[in-house]
Amino acid sequence: MRKAKIVILGAGYGGLMTATRLQKAVGVNEAEIVLVNKNSYHYETTWLHEASAGTLHHDRVRYEIKNVIDTNKVNFIQDTAVEIKTEEKKVILENGEIDFDYLVVALGGESETFGIKGLKEYAYSIVNVNSARQIKEHIEFQFATYNTEEEKKDERLTIVVGGAGFTGIEFLGELGNRIPELCKEYDVDPQKVKVICVEAAPMVLPGFDPELVNYAVSHLEKKGVEFRIGTAIKEATPEGIIVGKGEDEVEEIKAGTVVWAAGIRGNAIIEKSGFEAMRGRVKVQLDLRAPGHDNVFIIGDSSLMINEEINRPYPPTAQIAMQQGETCARNLAALVRNKTELETFKPDIKGTVCSLGEDDAIGVAFGKKMVGAKASFMKKMVDNRALYMIGGPSLVMKKGKFNIL
């Protein structure tokens, strides 16, 4: 009998967790495992705001995939998935194609710009290592240019962050630490720097405890962040953004840097490959398979699951993607062994911590609210835990966060 061939697309939190669990769960005689990823490395999506601000080097947020997989059991291919042909059971790659018996789509999400004009062209998004270091370099270039011009353009030193969700707030927290450094490095008067957070929704960090949100806003305001809540970005331009003001008016905010951190949608491959989706996310079955496809699992940012308690989708988080990876690996092992009963996925939200910079944070963990140094410590433990889950203690030692007060 031919071995089942399992192909995992993507080595983010979900895909890499699937691969590392699967390599333990099935024997080499039971299945052939192939992991396909665009880069040779995995990166910590949840740390990218730090690389973007320049508070953490981008090499600290990534590690080589070969260092965490068992290369005797998992065949790693560095390539980019272009389209999934479900009928033909194969995936078109940029440099070839690969067939499968079982497929795991764990390709991560993409920035959702909601059709706002100019955002794709003129705003930066915190989406991967490449874009993170580009944001860092762009901001540094703006600061470096400021003093070279005879007529000083203060707007060079204005940074607009679009979105007061998780990524936006965490990025603002890092900027709070980074901007004093930038001012020193480039001989810039800190009074000239403006950081403006523009959010269309009427609140910051929707879904978070209001007391914690107040703590975060007040902390960031003290660090110089100006919040423009309930303000929609109408357009991004080479000079900055246009926002709505009142019913019909608009206002221009000039800014050398615009970072869009307001939305995520599923991977473009989902719709391209004919899956039924909402904003690129497939409402998966409880066993994580795509409806109508017994051999295709979709996990992470391209999957959609409803939290019945509040009748809203679960947010696209690393925590859930990793838990999905564990379930997905067990279900694949079951399928390979011709078991028909698959496990039902149920997220186990242990807590949520939102960083506010180097030594502050807000969060809820094990049902308890926390702020300040305690929450910041918890955040670093959450970050280290993600490393531990995928690469064990040695990866934590290598890439972990130990700058603990």
Q: Which stretch binds its own copies (CB under 8 A): 67-75, 142-150, 164-172, 290-298?
A: 142-150
Of the pair 72, 148, the CB lying nearest its own copies is at 148
Is 170 tagged catalytic?
yes
Report if residue 137 touches its own copies, rule: CB under 8 A.
Answer: yes
Of the pair 75, 145, the CB lying nearest its own copies is at 145
Which residues 6+ apart lie within 8 Å of 359 measured at CB?
A: 373, 376, 405
Among residues 67, 130, 394, 403, the one that binds its own copies under rule CB under 8 A: 130
Report if residue 141 touches its own copies, rule: CB under 8 A.
Answer: yes
> In the complex, what is the shortest distance from the CB of residue 140 to its own copies, in angstroms, rounded to a whole number?
5
> In the complex, what is the shortest distance from the CB of residue 81 to its own copies, in angstroms, rounded to a whole number?
15
Q: Which stretch binds its own copies (CB under 8 A): 144-152, 252-260, 268-276, 292-300?
A: 144-152
> In the complex, what is the shortest distance from the CB of residue 281 to its own copies, in angstroms, rounded to a whole number?
22
| Number of residues lying near its own copies (CB under 8 A) | 16
3-state secondary structure the chain: CCCEEEEEECCCHHHHHHHHHHHHHCCCCCEEEEEEECCCEEECHHHHHHHHHCCCCHHHHEEEHHHCCCCCCEEEEECCEEEEECCCCEEEECCEEEECCEEEECCCCEECCCCCECHHHHCEECCCHHHHHHHHHHHHHHHHHHCCCCCCCHHHHEEEEECCCHHHHHHHHHHHHHHHHHHHHCCCCHHHCEEEEEECCCCCCCCCCHHHHHHHHHHHHHCCEEEEECCCEEEEECCEEEEEECCCEEEEEECCEEEECCCEECCHHHHHCCCCCECCEEECCCCCECCCCCCEEECHHHEECEECCCCEECCCCHHHHHHHHHHHHHHHHHHHCCCCCCCCCCCCCCEEEEECCCCCEEEEECCEEEEHHHHHHHHHHHHHHHHHHHHHHHHHHHHCCCCCC
Report if residue 49 touches its own copies, rule: CB under 8 A.
Answer: no
Report if residue 229 touches its own copies, rule: CB under 8 A.
Answer: no
Report if residue 64 touches its own copies, rule: CB under 8 A.
Answer: no
Of the pair 14, 109, the CB lying nearest its own copies is at 109
Among residues 186, 314, 377, 388, the one that binds its own copies under rule CB under 8 A: 186
Report if residue 138 touches its own copies, rule: CB under 8 A.
Answer: yes
* Catalytic residue of the set 32, 44, 50, 170: 170
Report if residue 239 touches its own copies, rule: CB under 8 A.
Answer: no
List b or e across 369-393, with b for residues whose CB sees 16 or more CB atoms inside 10 angstroms: ebbeeebbbbbbebbbebbebbbee
Q: Which stretch binds its own copies (CB under 8 A): 127-135, 218-226, 346-354, 378-386?
A: 127-135
Of the pair 39, 237, the CB lying nearest its own copies is at 39
> In the complex, what is the shortest distance from the CB of residue 137 to its own copies, in angstroms, rounded to a whole number?
4
Q: Which stretch binds its own copies (CB under 8 A): 23-31, 71-79, 126-134, 357-365?
A: 126-134
Site string for its own copies, 84-123 (x = CB under 8 A): ----------------------------------------
Bridge partner residues of 307 (DSSP) = 312
Report if residue 38 touches its own copies, rule: CB under 8 A.
Answer: no
Residues that bind its own copies (CB under 8 A): 130-131, 133-134, 136-138, 140-141, 143-145, 147-148, 186-187
Active site residues: 170
